[in-house]
């Protein structure tokens, strides 16, 4: 989880650094950084669902289907990301090396919503296993904060809140659990 988050944050910083520069290094840099940022965020959600499945599995019978669904969806998102190298599915770049959302950008957020809904379903189903308030705050916080950030980010294209919300949520998980 930490590795995926760190990778996503680093990719975001590098994408911002290379954006708008038209030299060869920046041309490659912005593309690699955006690819890695999307990839790390896809893997982060699958990793978190794996984490809560194992964590809650110590205290309750956790259904495996949500994890299997998210793993399959993650594989599909990674395949679409590779396709994006050739056909703008999620994003593209203009002549000034600036990132722009592509028509199917919303699918990447749909994956996030799907994963969060499945995480919430597991948390509701296994709620009796969450006896400590700190557990509830940490695990539900990981869903609520990124969801709020995603909703704001979908409306306000310029704000990059999702990585910040993920980071705060992960810190809560590791501090409270």
82 pLDDT more than 70: yes
132 pLDDT more than 70: yes
For residue 158, the model assigns a pLDDT of 66
Could you give the percent of the chain with pLDDT greater than 90?
A: 85
Q: How many CB atoms within 10 Å of residue 177?
A: 13
For residue 151, the model assigns a pLDDT of 83
4 pLDDT more than 90: yes
For residue 155, the model assigns a pLDDT of 80
Mean pLDDT value across the chain: 93
Nearest to 162 by CA among 145, 175, 177: 145
Per-residue pLDDT averaged across 17-38, rounded?
Answer: 96
């Amino acid at each position: 989880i930490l590795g995926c988050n760190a990778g996503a944050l680093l990719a975001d910083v590098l994408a911002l650094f290379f954006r708008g520069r038209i030299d060869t290094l920046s041309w490659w840099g912005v593309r690699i950084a955006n690819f890695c940022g999307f990839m790390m965020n896809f893997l982060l959600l699958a990793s978190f669902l794996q984490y809560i499945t194992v964590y809650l599995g110590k205290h309750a019978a956790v259904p495996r289907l949500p994890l299997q669904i998210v793993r399959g969806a993650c594989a599909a998102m990674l395949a679409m990301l590779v396709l994006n190298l050739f056909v703008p599915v999620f994003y593209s770049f203009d002549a000034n090396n600036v990132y722009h959302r592509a028509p199917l950008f919303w699918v990447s957020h749909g994956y996030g919503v799907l994963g969060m809904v499945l995480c919430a379903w597991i948390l509701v189903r296994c709620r009796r296993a969450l006896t400590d308030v700190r557990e509830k705050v940490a695990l539900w916080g990981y869903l609520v904060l990124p969801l709020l950030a995603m909703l704001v980010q979908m409306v306000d294209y310029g704000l990059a809140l999702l990585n910040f919300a993920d980071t705060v949520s992960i810190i809560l998980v590791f501090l409270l659990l």
